[in-house]
Structure 1
Amino acid sequence: MGAARSQGHRPPESSHRSCTRFMPGPWQEVIMKQLPIMNGAVSPAVRDEILGTKRRPVVLIGFQNQGNLGIGYLASTLRKNGYEVEVIDFEIDPDLILERVKFLDPILVGFSLIFQFYITQFSSLIDKLRDGGIACHFTMGGHFPSLSYEEALAHAPNLDSVVRFEGELTLLELVETLHRDDDWRGLQGIAYRQTDGSIVCNTLRPLIESLDILPLPDREFKPMSILGHDIMPLIASRGCSRKCSFCSIHTFYRAVPGKIVRLRQIKNVADEMRQLYEERDSKIFLFQDDDFPIVGPMWRKWTLSFVDELYRQDLVGKIIFKINCRADVVETELFEILRDAGLYLVYMGLESGSEEGLEVLNKGLSVEQNLNAVNTLKSIGVMFQYGFMLFDPSSTFNSVRENLDFLRTITRDGDLAATFCRMLPYDGTAVKDQLAAEGRLRGDVTNPDYDFLDDRLDGFFREITETLNMVGWIHGVRSLSPKLDWAWHEVAVTQHMFTGVKGFGLYRDRLSAITKSANEMLFDLVEELSFAHEAGRPGKLDAERLDFECHELTNKLLATRNEFVLSNQATMLKVLGVEEVETV
């Protein structure tokens, strides 16, 4: 149901908050919000009195752990038009969700499916709600149901409809139609199953021409935080003009009539940041644009004018922000201007260190451009994160080692954790269609996969994956590489938000040494296995030794990081306006 999030208008927090310790995000246990529920049946009259309305509300269910702007835009659009909306975190206990939905007695429940891997879990929840007596309209939105609506309806037979592509206006019209008790089946942008089992897809609703007609997203989620600062997501644009073969984003926006990329008005973006800064003390912003508007003269002008507006609104020096962009837009002059205005972190999808790999992925980039972008950001002092696919459908043992050489180059100075993944063939991507045509596509919707051209690579990848997953190296927030990545993210925040800390240079040096050790150990492991499998002699890794070394590095990282933070805790808490409370 479109792209969006949630900006609940909570009152500003007190300038003095209590805390005992200053612990890092990915090492904390996540405490999920428990919804208030009422035992026993609740009459409509009692429910209406509690909710303050006789209009049946709308319930939206989706992942909220990192802030779901998609749901936020849907919720704010409905509320602007007079509808009560309750947003429920998908990760809450299903029994609690059922009880809450029973109490609310909504006219519609909407499910926001971000990744196709979760269709089975969403279908299970949908079935549970139906079996529990929830008889209202069920709809679903997101990239996968938009692009593969027939599969979504097949996997979730208790759905009534799918809201395809940008969902704000379609969902609003659907809710209005249900409230009037009219027939909703003719609405634009809807797909549904008829009583005979056949699937109907109505005329697509054009993309929203002006994003500025939308109200600001409601933000009811608890945002991620780093060193006591919330990381607040927002968007400056929607759409992507590129055509990467492994990505469904451009397919999503090209499948519908309308302008593919739309930019918000500059003042509206800065006003939103100003409002969040004043009302919620937000100082770190994450632009979730698929491709921040930089490429080309027109978008470059937009970005420079945006910087001017940040200065005009006196936000420079008070806030910092992260963007996503491609390597070919990174150039010194522009990014120095962005840096001086608050740019502290850049995410780039580098994806491959080989020319053939970049061509297969249809990146429209060269290895030289990737390296130039990395070197430019390092030279001007802007930290970056990256996406990288060590394996893709064209991979050979030589290309894997070429990719390792590229990763060694960009991580050599130790300020960047090594990380990589395997390209997966998502629905709606050109690479999935190509693999299917070649007879190499494997798996299913929840586990898409493919065969390599050289079957020795299948065993190679399997051994790497099983080993690294077992010891906890790359994937999962509690693994070593994500911890290193988070520690460097904290470094980027510290040098902008906590300028009075002591021992910062020494801490960076120690963190760099740990990162170098971890990276080299990982590279050597993968390279050694590549030669073994290529020679037809699969390696027999000493998993216990690797597990020990990984945990030793992890413990060293945690000890080093926590020593630095705790030694500067008083300074950091003072910056945050938080009273330090002694533990008993």
Structure 2
Amino acid sequence: MKNKGKVVLIGAEDEENLAIRYLGAALKSENHEVKIISYSSRRDLKKVLNVIKRFYPDIVGISICFQSLALMFLELVKKLKKILPNTHITVGGHFPTFEYQELIMHDIDSVIRFEGEASICMLTDALVNGKNLENIPNLVYKSPHHDKIIENDIIRTFPDLDEIHFPLRKKKAQIRLGERFATLVASRGCFHSHCIYCCIGAFHNAKNGKKYAIRTPQNVALEMKELYSNKVRLFQFHDDNFLLPSVESNLTRLNELKLILKDYGIDLNKICILIKLRPDKLNGDIMDVLIDLGVIGIFLGVENASATGLNSLSRGSSVDDINKSLELIDQYGISTTFNLLMFHPKATLSEINENIKFMNENLDKSYDFGRVEIVAGSPLESLVKRKNLIHGKWPHWDYRIKDNAVEKMFRINQKTFYHEKSQYSELSHKMISLSYRSQLIKRLYPGKYSEKIIKKNKENLKKFNAFNLQNLLKIYELTGEDDWQDSINNINLNLQKNYLIFLEKSNEILNDMTKIQLLEKEFQKQSLNNYLQKSGLMKRLFKL
């Protein structure tokens, strides 16, 4: 009779980490004992070590999805090996897939590259039953005497996504935007797979055939049914592209999903969905079905608002695609958010001008702006190394932008908007969250007080974007000056002062939204739908 293992799976978990939770489900299906531990910051280190020590696992699996957290996880590995020297430590994820040769030189026993469901189960079985590791696919490991590194064969096909067990969920769903919330994926990979800054294409590039795989609508609907029965009402799809390459296949797939969800008894009017889309795959017919499904927010893959910038990033979409998609989404009245990667190795001031113009034309939308960053395995990593633009230390590489004026603008941007004490990042993410939450309230709790809050949020968002744009233009002007330290100090003082005001206003709006949601839920329990927002007495009583 086979022995069963004790496995700890560790990963950053602001929301449920699907990477480790898919692994956990695979291990559970083979009767291994699994414990999932969140490790999102160094503040968690002592607690994580104590939990692991008490559990005393045979194997610890660590997901290093975020390159920025690599050193934090290596610190955990080092301390873990001191207290449990005989416990096997394996790591996986996008970053280890490409940086396995460096990582294996630390206190790590093995690396699982690419998909890990089959490999983690085989590794656990081998370790607790004294088997050889040579037949475990996607595995890189140290020989028994640690005198050499062994790389096993890799799997060059996607697994059947419908055959993979649903992620191992927490018993009680998380709360996000004031509602019970879950993340899920309906696919893996990306049909475009050419963006210069993205490791997704590289991650699946070794596969034969298509660089993406999809779950059937039946399988997706079944998982949504299970989550819905646990009172989840907000579903966020983390697919890199929620849509497929052709209009016909999208309409067929989305309509089928809609019908199955209805057959399962899911009230589509009582759920909300967040998705990611490319701007070149959207039309009115698809939008109609997305609205029927409950989509309230779209993260649109804009990335750059200039033709040369899109070409440099190998996006495969056009400025016209972007503008048409934004116009279409606006017509349907749902929230759009996007990133602008206006700083990249080949960026020019002309491109920066076009992106600033685009920002000014979209002050009513929540967005973020910044630089294309180096991720392991991406074409960008190869480019900056080949062009001798790279500098800094592993794993936090930096690079120089070719155009001196743009490079200067970026460095000033680092010292202002992205200064360590700046509240820009916190506020921009809060604006995105409030934008989505506005649409959620509009869909689930319609009424005059909801509309009042939504209007207030739109006004605050426009002022925030206009203020940021004003300061970005000041930074643009500094590219032609030699002495700019005093100007930077003035910009930072201005940002700090006004961000406190925006933060206070945003928190006020957030409190208003929370109040509406909590009250509406209580009234709906009493079958008093719409009463709250129609009653003058309720307005006075609850100060709406």
TM-score, normalised on structure 2?
0.89
Q: 2:427 aligns with which of 458, 463, 480?
A: 480
Q: How does 1:304-319 map to 2 (within 5 A)?
A: 304-315=255-266, 316-319=268-271
User: In structure 2, what residue type is equivalent to 1:490?
Assistant: R
2:460 is aligned with 1:514:
yes
User: In structure 2, what residue type is equivalent to 1:497?
Assistant: L
Is the Cα contact below 8 Å between 2:296 and 2:334 reproduced in 1?
yes
Bigger shift: residues 223-232 or 440-449: 223-232
Name the CA shift for 1:535/1:562 in 2 (closer, same or farther; >3 Å): same
Aligned position for 1:426: 375
1:122-180: per-residue Cα shift (whole Å, max 9, x none)? 111111111113412110000011122112223xx111100110000011111111121
Name the CA shift for 1:360/1:496 in 2 (closer, same or farther; >3 Å): same
- Could you tell me how far 1:575 is from its partner in structure 2? 4.1
- Could you tell me how far 1:371 is from its partner in structure 2? 0.8
Aligned position for 1:282: 232
CA distance in 2, matches of 1:488, 1:290: 21
Indicate the SS of the match to 1:358: helix
User: In structure 2, what residue type is equivalent to 1:126?
Assistant: V
Aligned position for 1:66: 15
Aligned position for 2:436: 489
Q: 1:160 aligns with which of 109, 127, 141?
A: 109
CA distance in 2, matches of 1:271, 1:153: 39
User: In structure 1, what residue type is equivalent to 2:470?
Assistant: D
Is the Cα contact below 8 Å between 1:67 and 1:222 reproduced in 2?
no
CA distance in 1, matches of 2:111, 2:70: 13
Indicate the SS of the match to 1:281: coil
Aligned position for 2:537: none
Name the CA shift for 1:352/1:224 in 2 (closer, same or farther; >3 Å): farther
Aligned position for 2:474: 528
Identity %: 24
1:497-555: per-residue Cα shift (whole Å, max 9, x none)? 212x4422232222222211111111111112212213545361313233112211221
Aligned position for 1:113: 64
Is the Cα contact below 8 Å between 1:237 and 1:293 reproduced in 2?
no
User: In structure 1, what residue type is equivalent to 2:120?
Assistant: L
Name the CA shift for 1:548/1:272 in 2 (closer, same or farther; >3 Å): same
Q: 1:123 aligns with which of 71, 74, 91?
A: 74
Indicate the SS of the match to 1:238: strand
2:327 is aligned with 1:375:
yes
Aligned position for 1:390: 342
CA distance in 1, matches of 2:260, 2:197: 36
- Could you tell me how far 1:82 is from its partner in structure 2? 1.1
Q: 2:352 aligns with which of 370, 379, 400?
A: 400
- Could you tell me how far 1:261 is from its partner in structure 2? 1.6
Name the CA shift for 1:109/1:132 in 2 (closer, same or farther; >3 Å): same
Name the CA shift for 1:382/1:205 in 2 (closer, same or farther; >3 Å): same
- Could you tell me how far 1:452 is from its partner in structure 2? 1.1
Is the Cα contact below 8 Å between 2:391 and 2:398 reproduced in 1?
yes
Q: How does 1:198-347 map to 2 (within 5 A)?
A: 198-220=148-170, 224-242=174-192, 243-257=194-208, 259-278=210-229, 280-296=230-246, 297-315=248-266, 316-347=268-299
Is the Cα contact below 8 Å between 1:311 and 1:341 reproduced in 2?
no
2:499 is aligned with 1:550:
yes
User: In structure 1, what residue type is equivalent to 2:384?
Assistant: L
- Could you tell me how far 1:337 is from its partner in structure 2? 1.6
The gaps in structure 1 that reach 5 residues or longer are: 1-52
How much is the aligned-residue C-alpha RMSD, in angstroms?
Answer: 2.3
User: In structure 1, what residue type is equivalent to 2:289?
Assistant: I
CA distance in 2, matches of 1:368, 1:224: 38
CA distance in 2, matches of 1:427, 1:569: 44
Name the CA shift for 1:562/1:450 in 2 (closer, same or farther; >3 Å): same
CA distance in 2, matches of 1:104, 1:239: 35
Indicate the SS of the match to 1:323: strand
1:280-321: per-residue Cα shift (whole Å, max 9, x none)? 101111111111133213344222221222233232223221
Aligned position for 2:140: 191
TM-score, normalised on structure 1?
0.84
User: In structure 2, what residue type is equivalent to 1:525?
Assistant: N
Indicate the SS of the match to 1:469: coil
Q: 1:504 aligns with which of 417, 439, 450?
A: 450
Aligned position for 1:8: none
Is the Cα contact below 8 Å between 2:445 and 2:517 reproduced in 1?
no
CA distance in 2, matches of 1:576, 1:137: 51
CA distance in 1, matches of 2:310, 2:522: 45
Bigger shift: residues 80-89 or 535-544: 535-544
User: In structure 2, what residue type is equivalent to 1:444?
Assistant: K
Name the CA shift for 1:568/1:148 in 2 (closer, same or farther; >3 Å): closer
Is the Cα contact below 8 Å between 2:187 and 2:212 reproduced in 1?
yes
CA distance in 2, matches of 1:438, 1:577: 66
The gaps in structure 2 that reach 5 residues or longer are: 528-540
CA distance in 1, matches of 2:141, 2:526: 52
1:27-70: per-residue Cα shift (whole Å, max 9, x none)? xxxxxxxxxxxxxxxxxxxxxxxxxx984411111112211111
Q: 2:131 aligns with which of 166, 182, 191?
A: 182
